[in-house]
Structure 1
Amino acid sequence: MQTQIPSFSQDFDIRKFHQVTIQDKKYNTQSTFTIPLRYSNLNFLNAGAQGTVVIADDAVRGERVAIKKMQRPFVMTMSAKRAYREFVLLTTIKHPNIIRLLNAFTPDSSLDTFQEVYLVMELMAHDLHEVIRGVRLDHKMLSFFVYQTLCAIKHLHDSGVMHRVIYSKLSVSNYGFQDLKPSNIVVSERCELKILDFGLARKTNVDTAMRMSDYVVTRYYRAPEVIFGLPYSEKMDIWSVGCIFAEMINQKVLFPGDDRLDQWTQICKVMGSPNDDFINKLSESAAFYVRNLGNYKSKSMSEIIPDCNFLEETENPKVNFTAPAARDLLSNMLKINPDERYSVEDALQHPYVKLWFKEEEVNAPVSENRYNQEIDLAEKTLQEWKCLIFEEVKRYQTEHDIFCG
């Protein structure tokens, strides 16, 4: 539902922008969108801690698009930093399996009045969470979705970005960002898959003294090394893909932990207790806890992913679309010790997904990635973050015609 608002009372250029108020009927809340005239027929899509998203008609492109209004990006330093990170990455990272930014703008003409940031993105039919809950996926779709997710992650890694972040010399106990999970992956009607959310992505850094915040990642998809604050690598993303892969097959979360320690317990109940090679990596207190938790025996992959959860009639041994092949890939993604776990490259070469391998997708040209981790780690005031975001938005508007395409 949308309601036109008299524009003469607002501080924006009425020759280029108009205002529409969007109603979220579920929670009885509303949000006002100040957008270029090219966008019309706005309808509420979803809302969360990071922003409100609507569907709109784009008269210039002649198609429906998704418009995200960043949710109060300048109220706290945390939200301003996140908005800066998301904006820079969305405007620079380009790959077929990463959501495409179509436009970005602010109706505010000066830093003093700067309050709103909008991102216009291609509209996708569903998120993967909806797909998993609503449809039993056949081998072809399971394989294709895993392949596309791996392509996206590889491109992020190649471009110097990891989807999960680390913080150094910062207090992060109140951070609650989103991460790689089914609801942050979207799918089109043609089964094209794209990673949606960049609020948690950062440039990689090999400093092993850095640690992942316990609060930063989504618990169900959290790798063991993240749970215990070990030095990280890109393989933590492979664990997440494995968890999502299992969820696509079983149509339920594989490791539904209630908190950090219960998450570890849930992993051990399924995958078994870790060996000494992993335990010896832990701190003294963590190692003591793990050894005294009890000795869990690992379940077989056939028990974790039973035959009845696959669509048997869709098997095709000629291209390795079989339950044993799917389980073999999954078992190598879900190794507790990251030293034993598949890399992205290993997974892309696995017979279950290799059918889809295309050089231009797997090894696409590296994105520009202007994101500066040193800026992110710097101690800045809220006003300084606001200024940085304003400069980035204005840079984009200078380089793009936001009104006529």
Structure 2
Amino acid sequence: MSTDKLRFGMFLPPYHARNENPSLALHRDLWLVEHIDRLGYDEVWVGEHHSAAFETIGAPEMFIATAAERTRHIRLGTGVVSLGYHQPLMLAERINYLDHITRGRVMFGVGPGALPSDAAMMGIAVEDMRPRMEAALDVLIPLLRGEVVNAEAGWFTLRDARLQMMPWTRPSVEMAITAMGSVNSAIAAGKYGLGILQFQSVGCFPMTTLPAMWNVVQQTAAEHGQTVDRSKWRLVLQMHLAESRQQALEDCRFGFEPWVDYFRHISALPLPPEGTRGDALPQAFVEAGTAVIGTPEDAITAIERHLADTGGFGCVMLLAHNWANSRATAESYELFARYVIPHFQGLNINREASIEWVIERRRQEQAQHGFDRASKS
């Protein structure tokens, strides 16, 4: 694995229950990004969705432009733009603009589109979504490097197309593709030499093939003359932390059931048995091993297990799920920043060495003083 330190961030779809003020929810999303920027997180990725009423950001580029003005250090990525919905030149212009106004803090996450209902509203067949993504990638990558592109793909035409400004980040912004479990995303990541936003689990369904997925990325990259780096492999985890496991489970009573209902009815994912409701739901996820609802120590144990199982990755992304209310959610991110991040980034190594040195020095001085008193007597 790369010698780079393990990074930490947030994956923000977002998820908002249908009974709350949607405008207030968007402002709360912005506040949460500001909050984790102050806490020292490295990055956040923001989703694009257009239907189903739960994931309410339709323009991640606009969200990022707003968040960029309110933050200082955190990197901001689209997580992800559904490429088949956008004319590639127009999209490349927007991403390049963000690259310049953030002075290199933007990242470009891409995918085919997660909700068939989004595609249906635009008259796009579900089976065309992935081919459209690859056709768009074929031109977006050179466009974002400042190259001239000519292409015909049926749903778009480019003739001597180029960006008016060279990219701020050279050779271009960092790019990544989302992966929910299908090998197709791993193949695309390897083919184009992209990073990968990998979900450790979806709902209560564990992804048990993470090492195999990375092997596919590497093998495909080699076949296409690309290079890939584990530091660009990001693992999205489901966590909520509190000072005790019981408190964490209690916190999740706020929004866990609406979140589960969304996935049951919209995404048709294999979640806990239909009869599992209410307070039993968070515990079912914990028992399935696909969510950490507990303490910082539980989070450390889970991340260490994933590092051992996968051979290493570059970034842990916490899924912004709104299982708990705003206060408990903010505290969860703070607990993670206070106790989990330092463990993996070695932030206290010199502090531990310093106190050990002081204790040893004091022991030696006490021993010497005792020897001196004995010799005088």
Q: TM-score, normalised by structure 2?
A: 0.23
The structure whose Rg is larger is: 2
Q: TM-score, normalised by structure 1?
A: 0.21
Structure with the larger helix share: 2
